[in-house]
């Protein structure tokens, strides 16, 4: 986003201690940790408002780990990192659950677990290998060599510690409990670090901040060239039906290597998302929030194939923008030459799994220089 010379005429100047940019799950969690663990005075700014980005548009799956099977994660990142990242999911879930328990309003949570399903014999073989690797590491799962739903899938892994949540309300309560001042409708245009301060130009104000934390996920490459080639905006599409009289999948279900996902909502509807794997050129490298009729058409056909018993009309369709990182792991660090500007971005479609624990490490890194382990960008050095 650029800004014209004329638009900068009426901004007030303001000093802040710790400025968080982006009011999604990551920004809310960062604000909470900065304020409550590190006793900073926190202001959050967002171009729109709380959870209007991916955090309020996702499927609400609290599913452990990454967008790759556990044994593949071990191959790609090494055993220690795979274990560490799965541990970060458990930590994130425990943070989210604490926020839900401490909330002033109800945040619906379904602790039924998740069911990872195979759509083909090849995927079933992968699932079996994943199940073995998870069990070897004593991660609680149950493996099914047949479809436990009887819907034409080939095998499944049940993860009983996973959950489904109302993500928009979760993000709202995290922000409320952070106690930070929230400034909505206030886009960041640019920033520069001079000495020990960061000068941040936004729509309503020019901030002089001690520290800035970027929690702008998919939009990060629009904010600073450092993120170009490191975070790729990727669009995802969902639909939800009118209420139905049964529960087609009593879990958060997902299949086709995580590309397809489905669950019941808390008001008795059926949610289905995914389908971008067949239209990569249309859904990659875009921050445009719009429906893609090709992907939505595929979702309709998927519904008819695997869930013919769900005959209620579609009530709503939407899209959201995810931030895919270069290597699939979140990115935590400070900007080169600007050590007062930190970031926690690149959740690769797994912000509910990882954003809380990642934001916790990102704040510690920015304020105290503590390494962020598996998610630290120093891995690219």
Ligand X SMILES: Cc1cc2nc3c(=O)[nH]c(=O)nc-3n(C[C@H](O)[C@H](O)[C@H](O)COP(=O)(O)OP(=O)(O)OC[C@H]3O[C@@H](n4cnc5c(N)ncnc54)[C@H](O)[C@@H]3O)c2cc1C
Q: Does 230 bind ligand X (CB under 6 A)?
A: no
Q: Does 20 bind ligand X (CB under 6 A)?
A: no
Of 345, 323, 320, nearest to 261 by C-alpha is 320
Nearer to ligand X, 77 or 261 (CB): 261
β-pair partners for 334:
342
The number of residues that bind ligand X (CB under 6 A) is 41
CA 63 – CA 163 distance, rounded (Å): 7
Continuous H helices in the chain: 25-36, 70-77, 79-101, 121-136, 167-178, 220-223, 280-283, 293-306, 351-368
Nearer to ligand X, 60 or 373 (CB): 60
CA 101 – CA 82 distance, rounded (Å): 29
CB of 50 to ligand X, least distance (A): 7
Q: Does 130 bind ligand X (CB under 6 A)?
A: no
Instruction: Reduce the DSSP state of residue 93 to 3 states and report it.
Output: helix
Task: Figure out which of the listed residues 18, 33, 61, 86 binds ligand X, where binding follows CB under 6 A.
Answer: 61
Task: Figure out which of the listed residues 48, 91, 338, 379 binds ligand X, where binding follows CB under 6 A.
Answer: 48
Residues 152-211 interacting with ligand X (rule: CB under 6 A):
187-188
**The two three-digit tokens of residue 255, written as one number:** 């299949």
Of 352, 353, 363, nearest to 20 by C-alpha is 363
CB of 96 to ligand X, least distance (A): 10
Q: Does 85 bind ligand X (CB under 6 A)?
A: no
Q: Does 27 bind ligand X (CB under 6 A)?
A: yes
CB of 345 to ligand X, least distance (A): 6
Of 251, 255, 229, 256, nearest to 324 by C-alpha is 229
What contacts 24+ positions apart, CB below 8 Å, involve 129-135?
A: 129/69, 129/71, 130/69, 130/70, 130/71, 130/72, 130/157, 131/157, 132/71, 133/69, 133/70, 133/71, 133/74, 134/70
CB of 125 to ligand X, least distance (A): 25
CB of 106 to ligand X, least distance (A): 20
Window of 23-31, 105-113, 239-247, 335-343 that interacts with ligand X by CB under 6 A: 23-31
Q: Does 217 bind ligand X (CB under 6 A)?
A: yes
Window of 7-15, 24-32, 124-132, 307-315 that interacts with ligand X by CB under 6 A: 24-32
Nearer to ligand X, 118 or 353 (CB): 353
Q: Does 258 bind ligand X (CB under 6 A)?
A: no
For the chain, the C-alpha Rg in angstroms (whole number) is 21
Task: Figure out which of the listed residues 113, 221, 233, 273 binds ligand X, where binding follows CB under 6 A.
Answer: 273
Task: Figure out which of the listed residues 16, 19, 20, 26 binds ligand X, where binding follows CB under 6 A.
Answer: 26
CB of 139 to ligand X, least distance (A): 17
Chain centroid to Cα 220, Å, comes to 14
Extended strands (E) in the chain: 12-21, 42-45, 61-62, 109-110, 114-118, 142-144, 155-159, 163-165, 181-183, 188-194, 197-202, 205-214, 231-241, 252-255, 260-264, 270-274, 314-325, 331-335, 338-345
Window of 3-11, 53-61, 113-121, 307-315 that interacts with ligand X by CB under 6 A: 53-61
Q: Does 282 bind ligand X (CB under 6 A)?
A: no
Ramachandran category for residue 89: left, alpha or beta (phi over 0 → left; psi -120 to 50 → alpha): alpha
Kindly report the number of other CB atoms within 10 A of residue 147's CB atom.
Answer: 17
Task: Figure out which of the listed residues 19, 25, 134, 341 binds ligand X, where binding follows CB under 6 A.
Answer: 25
Residues 325-354 interacting with ligand X (rule: CB under 6 A):
347, 349-353
CA 121 – CA 126 distance, rounded (Å): 9
Nearer to ligand X, 157 or 188 (CB): 188
Q: What is the DSSP letter of 231?
A: E
Window of 25-33, 77-85, 124-132, 225-233 that interacts with ligand X by CB under 6 A: 25-33
List residues binding ligand X (CB under 6 A).
1, 21-27, 45-48, 52-55, 57-61, 187-188, 215-219, 223, 236, 238, 273, 320, 322, 347, 349-353, 355
């Amino acid at each position: 986003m650029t800004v014209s010379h004329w638009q900068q005429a009426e901004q007030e100047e303001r000093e802040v201690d710790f400025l968080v940019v982006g009011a999604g799950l990551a920004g809310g969690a960062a604000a909470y940790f900065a304020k409550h663990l590190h006793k900073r005075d926190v202001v959050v700014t967002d171009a729109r408002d709380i959870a209007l980005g991916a955090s309020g548009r996702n499927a609400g799956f609290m599913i452990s780990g990454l967008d790759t099977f556990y044994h593949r994660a071990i191959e790609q990142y090494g055993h220690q990192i795979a274990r560490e990242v799965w541990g970060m999911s458990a930590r994130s879930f425990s943070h989210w659950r604490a926020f839900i328990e401490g909330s002033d309003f109800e945040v619906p949570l379904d602790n039924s677990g998740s069911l990872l399903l195979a759509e083909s014999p090849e995927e079933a073989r992968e699932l079996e290998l994943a199940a073995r690797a998870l069990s070897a590491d004593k991660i609680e799962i149950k493996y099914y060599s047949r479809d436990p739903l009887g819907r034409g899938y080939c095998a499944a892994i049940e993860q009983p510690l996973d959950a489904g949540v109302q993500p928009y309300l979760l993000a709202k309560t995290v922000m409320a409990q952070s106690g930070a001042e929230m400034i909505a409708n206030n886009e960041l245009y640019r920033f520069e670090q001079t000495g020990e301060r960061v000068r941040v130009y936004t729509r309503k104000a020019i901030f002089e901040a001690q520290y800035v934390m970027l929690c702008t996920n998919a939009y990060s490459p629009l904010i600073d060239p450092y993120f170009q080639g490191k975070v790729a905006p990727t669009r995802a599409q969902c639909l939800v039906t009118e209420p139905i009289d049964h529960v087609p999948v009593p879990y958060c279900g997902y299949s086709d290597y995580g590309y397809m996902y489905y669950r019941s909502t808390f008001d008795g509807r059926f949610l289905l998302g995914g389908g971008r794997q067949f239209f990569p050129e249309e859904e990659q490298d875009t921050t445009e929030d719009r429906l893609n009729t090709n992907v939505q058409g595929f979702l309709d056909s998927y519904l008819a194939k695997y869930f013919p018993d769900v005959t209620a009309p579609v009530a709503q369709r939407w899209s959201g923008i995810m931030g895919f990182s270069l290597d699939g792991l979140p990115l935590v660090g400070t900007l080169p030459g600007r050590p007062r500007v930190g970031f926690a971005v690149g959740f690769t479609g797994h912000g509910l799994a990882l954003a809380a624990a990642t934001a916790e490490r990102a704040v510690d890194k920015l304020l105290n220089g503590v390494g962020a382990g598996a998610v630290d960008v120093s891995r690219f050095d």
